[in-house]
Structure 1
Amino acid sequence: MIPALAAAALLDIPPFPPSRMAELADRLAAILNTKNDVLIVQGEAILALEAVATSLPRRGMRALNIVTSPYGDWFGRWLCRAGAEVTDLRASGGQPIEAPAVEAELAKGGYDLVALVHAESSSGILNPLEPIARAAGAAGALVIVDAVASVGGHELDVDALGIDIAVIGAQKSLGGSAGLSALSVSPAAWERLLAPGAPELSSLSLLDLKHNWLDKGRGALPGMPSALELHALDAALDRVEREGLAAVIARHARAAEATRAGLVALGLTAFVSPDRASNLTTAAVPPPGIGIGNLLSALAPFDTGIGPGIGEAAERLVRLNHTSPRAALQPVLTGVLAVGQALASLGCSVDLGAAAAVILSHYDGRAR
């Protein structure tokens, strides 16, 4: 719990200058490797995603929506609500989608957009963004990417991949608050967004953001944004820039490799292979005979934030979060050893020393 004195410091925050909001957008554009417009949305990233799915479709627009978690399912429902004709292409068992399956569906022709989640925090998977974006672009479809759980933890080059809209949040690898999100918008996406029928006077209207911010030269704050959240994003970007984006990504990759190795040393099975796994969350299957519910109950006293999977694989997976400050030796070691102690309390034979040693080998014995 935050002490009352510290919490009081969050009140009476000074205003955030409009010019600095434009600077924030430009700094996010640098992280995304894009020259496209970047919009800052007042709200958690789920609001930005719903705004995209509400603002973009028109009657008759055909969308290929890739579903590898509840988030993809929600996005498809929002597209339908806005009038799009949606084909959901679902991966089985919580696994990543296969690029050839997407390519085969696109070969049928007629799709106006392709939507997918890059990395899934719900199951620790990574979808094959590069071949999918390439195939969608070749088919003349807009590419819409939920990169909330990948930005800062994986390489993401919006312009090189031809991504038309990328939605991000600061609360994961970038180490910021969940109260703001952002999205990049390509000229091709703006052309569709500006077509007749776009929603206006709505929190879900990207057109409103364009009129109230971009069209005013980014010189006036749109609406009544939270100064606290803007200051928090500013501070988070300061920290990322001091460390360097490449170093942030490498730190998350190392934490993922160490976590996976430690869990395997304890007798768990990684849910997906390393090339199909997220750097932010590692999901694993407990040893035979150990139920997820029992394991989570045994883990409760450790207060590590370890939880079950979400979606199709929820009853089979345990997830370890190694995002932002957790992408370091001590949190990784603490989390994996907590799993080992929980397994031991359930009667499993585990070698905590071996698990610790393999984790330390990824860090050369030093905290990074």
Structure 2
Amino acid sequence: MSDCPAIDPPRLGEPYLLTPGPLTTSYAVKQAMLRDWGSWDGDFRAMTAEMRERLVAMLGDGHEAFTCVPMQGSGSFSVEAMLGSFVPRDGKALVLANGAYGQRAAQALAYIGRAFDALDKGDYLPPRGPEVAARLAADPAVTHVVAIHCETSSGILNPLAEIAEAVAAAGRTLLVDAMSAFGALPLPPAEVPYAALVSSANKCIEGVPGFGFVLARREAVVAAEGNAHSLCLDVHAQWAAMEATGQWRYTPPTHAVAAFLEALRAHAAEGGVAARGARYAENRDVLVAGMRALGFETLLADRWLSPIITTFFCPADPAFSFDAFYDGMKARGFIIYPGKLTVAESFRLGHIGQVDADVMRQAVAAVEATLRALGVTDPAPPAAALAERAKLGEAA
């Protein structure tokens, strides 16, 4: 563990970002962006190499078979790069969807002309291993399965181990959107078989936006040559260039890479994936307990709550307005997230980034003060929302 505290002291007026990323970063990460770097210079190539090595090592048991391919752009750029590079043009994907990011993966497949089917579980339920196995048995044309590890539109943590087992038993290939989970939730390839995962710099490793990365089996990357639909989003071409020259094919986000290296070092000093995940889980537990004590209800049953972000139903009280609630929370030092559901009014509070349990207690106090200022006396959700949750969510 580092001699430094896990998180920085109070923010000197800067609000905390209770979002799934971008998120609150440390002073050291911000300071790392004060220097300019030459994108072809040897020092920056060494930075890229160190970053790739550290990311692969974070996979844990079985990482030796993997390589890292960073990709410019937001995390969604890397998701599309993974799909377009690893699902061959004559392949077919089964997308496991229970929120906006599964739906986005399906949309990307449609745009790039790949055949796909979707198992859509709605907002409340996770895809389970047996139903994935049944869908694969019924459709031998499916070559790849696309799963979201943590679906942040609801905050649900999907049971990836049982999904991976079903996919492997059927002889198909698993691709994982681990955007909001990598770095806080373990996913060792020796225990959970998959061909590739994607994540982003500005999630659980606590860097800043600017690039994502694909962690994939080398054999899968080699086999992906010629698959890509895009010049810029070709994972194999990016990997081949980096292996040959140590350089990015096109202009890299140099400052974001420098910040990310600092964040990677802090991640290791904190204790790695296990320690980062434990801090986030404690944040969630403190936040959820405090919000429930005020009268709020979570969208999900406890068994599916992730340590990344939690969705709460909006109060039925007519005095509640999300826009006014948002403004009140911002005035009290917290940026929150609107809901992203199809069936219920909601909002989301993230618990990742440079925040700890004490910050979560401050956030709950800010919620209480904001409700008081709005004249909201009862944070309970509409009865219909609870009835829907009881019918669907508890059946998972």
Aligned residues: 342
Q: Which residue of 1 aligns with 2:136?
A: 106
Name the residue aligned to 1:21. Answer: 48
- Which position in structure 1 is the counterpart of 2:150? 119
Q: Does 1:74 align with 2:108?
A: no
- Other-structure match for 1:10: 34
The equivalent residue for 2:359 is 331
Task: Find the counterpart in structure 1 of residue 384 from structure 2.
Answer: none
Partner of 1:256: 284
Does residue 1:85 correspond to 2:95, yes or no? no
Equivalence for 1:173: 204
Q: Identity of aligned pairs, percent?
A: 26
Show the counterpart of 1:48: 78
**Structure 2: where are the runs of 5+ without partners?**
1-12, 15-29, 380-396
* Cross-structure match for 1:358: none
Range with bigger deviation, 168-177 or 54-63: 54-63
2:193 counterpart letter in structure 1: G
From 288, 293, 297, the equivalent of 1:269 is 297
> 3-state SS of the aligned residue for 1:173?
coil
CA separation in 1, counterparts of 2:305 and 2:95?
21
The AA in structure 1 aligned to 2:260 is L
* Residue in structure 1 matched with residue 249 of structure 2 by the alignment: 222
Output one character per residue of 1:219-266: Cα deviation in whole Å (capped at 9) or x when no partner: 344333232122111101010011111211110111011111111111
Give the alignment of 1:149-160 within 5 angstroms: 149-160=180-191
The residue type equivalent to 1:175 in the other structure is: E
**What is the deviation of 1:47?**
1.0
Comparing 22-31 with 222-231, greater Cα deviation is found at 222-231
Q: By how many angstroms is 1:8 displaced?
A: 12
Candidates 252, 267, 273, aligned match of 1:240: 267
In structure 2, the residue matched to 1:343 is 371
Letter in 2 for 1:129: L
Q: By how many angstroms is 1:163 displaced?
A: 1.5
- Compute the displacement of 1:334 (Å): 1.8
The whole-number CA distance in structure 2 between the counterparts of 1:93 and 1:109 is 25
Quick check: 2:67–2:217 contact (8 Å CA) kept in 1? yes
| Structure-2 residue corresponding to 1:289 | 317
- Helix, strand or coil: the match of 1:32? coil
Cα separation, 1, equivalents of 2:223 and 2:33:
44
Larger RCO, structure (CA 8 Å, separation 6 or more)? 2
In structure 2, the partner of 1:209 is: 238
- Larger CA deviation: 77-86 vs 34-43: 77-86
- The residue identity in structure 2 corresponding to 1:52 is M
Q: State whether residues 267 and 286 of structure 1, in contact with CA within 8 Å, keep that contact through their aligned partners in structure 2.
A: no
Task: Pick closer, same or farther for the CA change 1:350–1:336 going to 2, 3 Å.
Answer: farther
Measured against aligned partners, the alpha-carbon deviations of 1:135-155 in whole angstroms (never above 9, x if no partner) come to 111111111111110112222
Conserved in 2, the CA contact under 8 Å of 1:255 and 1:329? yes
Pair 1:343–1:99, CA change in 2 (3 A): farther
1:168-209 Cα deviation digits (max 9, x unpaired): 112122111111211111245335413x54446x11111211
Contact 1:57 1:79 in 2 (8 A): no
Farther off after superposition, 286-295 or 244-253: 286-295
**Structure 1 alignment gaps of length 5 or more:** 352-368
Q: 2:124, 2:299 within 8 Å by CA — same for their partners in 1?
A: no
Is the Cα–Cα contact under 8 Å of residues 165 and 184 in structure 1 kept in the other structure?
yes
2 CA distance for matches of 1:74 and 1:235? Answer: 31
1:145 corresponds in structure 2 to 176
Q: 1:87 to 1:330 in 2, by over 3 A?
A: same
What amino acid is the match of 1:88? Answer: A
Closer, same or farther in 2 for the Cα pair 1:295/1:168, shift >3 Å? same
Partner Cα distance (1:199, 1:139) in 2: 27
